[in-house]
């Protein structure tokens, strides 16, 4: 019985890999890309991808579109140091632990409509992103937690836009509630 599962598991992994490789080939042909180092943007949404292998071969990758797949984890992203924008909305991601620490240049991160559950761990991971300006986390279980917005805004001071709203709007509303300024 265990062998059948392993064979099935390998077949699933192989079919996911083949789907990924075929998508890459099609994307390269469509965009006249002949070398990995010429890839600055990678657009692979709506492919039902469950996993990816390392993207480290794309040394100049800046923008990564993987929305609306079936990704649960992101180990392939950890060493993509040149990334500035990542679009991972509408996947099955449950945790971002140890995923973004090395992405020093990241400015935009869309993680809305996933299954992220640990707010403290998520905030800790996001706090490493010193250049992050635009972040979406709405429609995750963590967005329902008390002080969600304040915790994220406080711990990621570089944010200008959080969940499609200007951070200044959040700060203005908080200040108004505290009676520190008059309108």
Read off the pLDDT of residues 144-155 as tens digits, 9 standing for 90 and up.
999 999 999 999
Task: Give the start-end residues of each E strand in 9-111.
Answer: 41-43, 63-65, 85-87, 108-110
**179, pLDDT greater than 80:** no
C-alpha triplet 107, 124, 127: angle, nearest 5°: 30
Name the band, by pLDDT with cuts 50, 70 and 90, for residue 61: very high
Give the domains, in start order, of the chain with CATH numbers.
2-178 (3.80.10.10)
Does residue 79 contact residue 101 with C-beta atoms inside 8 Å?
A: no
Query: Which helix (H) or strand (E) element contains residue 13?
Result: helix 2-30
Q: Report the pLDDT averaged over residues 82-100.
A: 96
Give the burial string for 22-43 (b: 16+ CB within 10 Å, else e). Answer: ebbeeebeeeebeeeeebeebe
pLDDT value for 174: 57
């Amino acid at each position: 019985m265990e062998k059948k599962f392993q064979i099935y598991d390998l077949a699933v992994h192989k079919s996911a890999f083949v789907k990924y490789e075929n998508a890459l080939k099609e994307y390269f042909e469509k965009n006249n890309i002949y070398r990995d180092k010429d890839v600055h943007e990678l657009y692979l949404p709506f492919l039902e991808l469950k996993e990816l292998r390392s993207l480290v071969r794309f040394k100049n990758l800046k923008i990564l579109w993987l929305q609306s797949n079936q990704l649960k984890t992101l180990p392939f992203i950890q060493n993509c140091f040149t990334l500035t924008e990542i679009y991972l909305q509408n996947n099955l991601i449950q945790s971002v632990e140890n995923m973004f620490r090395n992405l020093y240049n990241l400015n935009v991160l869309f993680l809305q409509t996933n299954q992220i559950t640990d707010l403290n761990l998520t905030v800790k991971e996001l706090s490493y992103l010193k250049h992050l300006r635009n972040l979406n986390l709405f429609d995750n279980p963590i967005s329902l937690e008390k002080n969600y917005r304040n915790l994220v805004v406080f711990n990621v001071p570089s944010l200008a836009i959080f969940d499609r709203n200007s951070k200044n709007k959040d700060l203005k509303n908080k200040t108004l509630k505290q009676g520190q300024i008059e309108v």
